[in-house]
Structure 1
Amino acid sequence: MTAPESFPEDLYQTLADFQQTHLLAWWDELNERERSELLAQIQRINFAQIQRLYTPDPSAKSEESPAQKAERATRPATVVRLEDRKSAPTESEKATAQGNQLLAAGRVGAILVAGGQGSRLGFSHPKGMYPIGPVKQTSLFQILVEQLRARARQAGQPISYFIMTSDATHEETVEYFQQHQNFGLSSDDLYFFKQGTMPAVDAESGQILLEQKHYIAVSPDGHGGMLAALKNNGM
């Protein structure tokens, strides 16, 4: 098979190698702008990663449901519990002492994952804007920033705050902080960045899904993509 008109031959071969040529099913019907948008999306996809995440496990039972396959693909890490604090000195106490040293040296930052909406709370804004203060209806964002500032004062050093948003929450979150003067946090210590996305994939076939003829369906890549998002945003 050969690449459709004006589509790069080498990239088409990549699609063929990973059984994803269906992404070009409507290519001939697209205008120039739509072709450019679809091409740009395809060029950003790590097809090897997609295949690695969704290739069926040979040891898995063939009657697995899509939900079971998804759970297996995202199985959580083993829980590591803290020791009994009655014994001394415990590993947790050693870690606390080391953490305090790093705070005092100004070598600690904090990350807040804030890509979610408050829809399950009946709140049509970013979840961090939800008023949870019992008296003053203080927002979750404000409470978290005030806790961070208090810890920075104790340490005598600023703590940089990295807030990971999503396409759904970014603009409103940034505007909310600006309206409230960052709740007293210096703008030099505050960074906003968007979490990444990954193509939506059919759990049965492993094929990437199209949302529109010229647009690949995507979903946030979750907390696991945080470090990559930091790197991609130059942080």
Structure 2
Amino acid sequence: MCPVPAPQFDLLPTHTMLSLEQVERSLERAGQSHVLQFWPELCEEDRDKFLQELSHLDLEGLKDHCEGTARAAASPPASLDQHIEPVPPESIGSVRKSDQSALSQWENEGLLQISKNRVGVLLLAGGQGTRLGVQYPKGMYNVGLPSGKTLYQIQAERIRKIQKLSDTKHGSKCTVPWYIMTSEFTLAPTEKFFKENNYFGLEPSNIVMFEQRMIPAVTFDGKVILQGKGKIAMAPDGNGGLYQALVDNNVLEDMKKRGLEYLHVYCVDNIMVKMADPVFIGFCVSKGADCGAKVVEKAYPTEPVGVVCRVQGVSQVVEYSEIQPETAELRGPGGELVFSAGNICNHFFTRPFLQDVAEKFEGQLKQHVATKKVPYVDTCGNLVKPTKPNGIKMEKFVFDVFPFSRNFVVFEVVREDEFSPLKNADGAATDSPTTARSSLLAQHCRWATAARATLLDEHGNILPPTASVSAGDSPPAQCEISPLVSYFGEGLEELLKGKTLPTPFILDEKMAKELQAQ
């Protein structure tokens, strides 16, 4: 994927139903008359649906969208190597390199802001679980933990716990609202899933779901793709569609009404994500930042993650495909990578900054080309599932607002503690259900041993403390700690110190009460 200047194109949020003649004229002007080639074969109901869908489209902008998309896909990405430099040290905080007093100070600041109802979280959940091999939203995925919890449940419980920690410290009764950006594909199943699970113990009025816009997929020669005789192949406009969706769905007004000042934005697929992380929030607030990004140190020079850096003095994310190998391999005097700040889609924004982006900068966001295998109907009306990329989807990225920030900061965290994404089906070398599950269970084993518990394997042998789990490794033990018991390893010593725990072991609220009573 590469950033390119391309025309802006969107579904219209409000529309009037157009006549067939109006649609025909508009499609002809756009050079897309083939969209109606199967019209005579459609029944009345399908015609109505299709006409409604076409009325939603920005037909006036369709010609520019299709031609611009084809042009963008044919353009090689510009080389940025001579223009990039690392983020300056004064804009960086680090869990590894900061002293304990600074970390405590930031955490206290974050918990204070949470206790005053100034912090919300926003989940980017518009994508489908295609690479994962499932036909439902990723958040509903069960990664195979001993408890059987899904990603949504884990995240909901972390919100409940951080509210409780803030309330305990400040004597408050706070709320961390949860905004969830879905797409046409994921909204209905996500709403149903939350309802069936009683919103995982959260107040339904504090969970706000909204849809991002959809845009047509286009062939390499600039033609809209039909996925059915009466259906255009549509795709979400990328996680950078967030900023337009905030406006379309009056989400910024909702935030203002609730008194929110700070937002933690993250992607659904990171099983280790710290919801409304008080240390991150506190660091950003203390620095007076309007925009911030969490990063992890790149595992190796060519790791396929974007790099947070500066280009001609402006903060942004440069995709790994846009950096030459020799630049990626540059090292500093201590042997560390010069461009080591790996982007993990975990961001801080102030509400006024989001308002500014929505009002002034949204139209300037870059568009990115993603080539995809898009199912389509051929000229005979047969459905074809391509084996190689045949279409282009244009996407905006959530991090492309960094250049508009007046005070941008970076916060480096430890990968083993905070980043293990779920992207691929099992069998893949990385980012699979197995690696995500193993990362979380290994973290919980570290927490238990740090709390001075002794873990036994299934044969009764004592397990050694563990530092990390590599991709494909099994965790040392099936030890799972509910977020309702501990948000990030805190409070475990009083429960586990001196205890010998046979595994598999699930430390949930019920078990915590039993241990307390012992």
Work out whether the TM-score is over 0.5: yes
Q: In structure 1, what is the Cα distance between the partners aligned to 2:122 and 2:221?
A: 36
The answer on 1:37 being equivalent to 2:49 is yes
**Is residue 51–residue 206 contact of structure 1 (8 Å, CA) maintained in 2?**
no
**Is residue 125–residue 139 contact of structure 2 (8 Å, CA) maintained in 1?**
yes
Q: In structure 2, what is the Cα distance between the partners aligned to 1:98 and 1:15?
A: 55
What secondary structure, in the 3-state scheme, does the structure 2 residue paired with 1:227 have?
A: helix
Consecutive unaligned residues in structure 2, runs of 5 or more = 1-18, 78-83, 167-171, 252-518
User: Which string of whole-angstrom CA distances, capped at 9 and with x for unpartnered residues, describes residues 68-126 of structure 1?
Assistant: 66x85xxxxx99856254589xxx99998886665344233211123445565565643
Q: In structure 2, what is the Cα distance between the partners aligned to 1:177 and 1:154?
A: 24
Superposed, 1:59-208 pairs within 5 Å as 83=92, 85=94, 86=97, 102-118=113-129, 120-121=131-132, 125-132=136-143, 134-155=145-166, 156=172, 157-202=174-219, 204-208=220-224
Cα drift, residue 174 of structure 1: 2.4
Residue matched to 1:63 = none
User: Which string of whole-angstrom CA distances, capped at 9 and with x for unpartnered residues, describes residues 113-165 of structure 1?
Assistant: 23445565565643223334743232211111111222233444211111233
Cα drift, residue 42 of structure 1: 1.9
Cα drift, residue 53 of structure 1: 7.0
The answer on 1:217 being equivalent to 2:233 is yes
Cα drift, residue 219 of structure 1: 2.0
Normalized per residue, the structure richer in helix is 1
Name the CA shift for 1:200/1:80 in 2 (closer, same or farther; >3 Å): farther
TM-score by length of structure 2 reads: 0.35
Consecutive unaligned residues in structure 1, runs of 5 or more = 1-5, 61-65, 73-77
- When the two chains are superposed, the root-mean-square deviation of aligned CA atoms in Å is 3.9
Number of residue pairs matched by the alignment:
212
The one of 54, 64, 69 equivalent to 1:51 is 64
Q: In structure 1, what is the Cα distance between the partners aligned to 2:245 and 2:33?
A: 28
Normalized per residue, the structure richer in strand is 2
What secondary structure, in the 3-state scheme, does the structure 1 residue paired with 2:142 have?
A: coil
Overall identity of the aligned pairs, in %:
31
TM-score by length of structure 1 reads: 0.68
**Is residue 70–residue 222 contact of structure 2 (8 Å, CA) maintained in 1?**
no
Cα drift, residue 231 of structure 1: 3.6
Name the CA shift for 1:15/1:53 in 2 (closer, same or farther; >3 Å): closer
Name the CA shift for 1:23/1:80 in 2 (closer, same or farther; >3 Å): farther
The residue identity in structure 1 corresponding to 2:64 is: Q
Q: In structure 2, what is the Cα distance between the partners aligned to 1:127 and 1:39?
A: 31
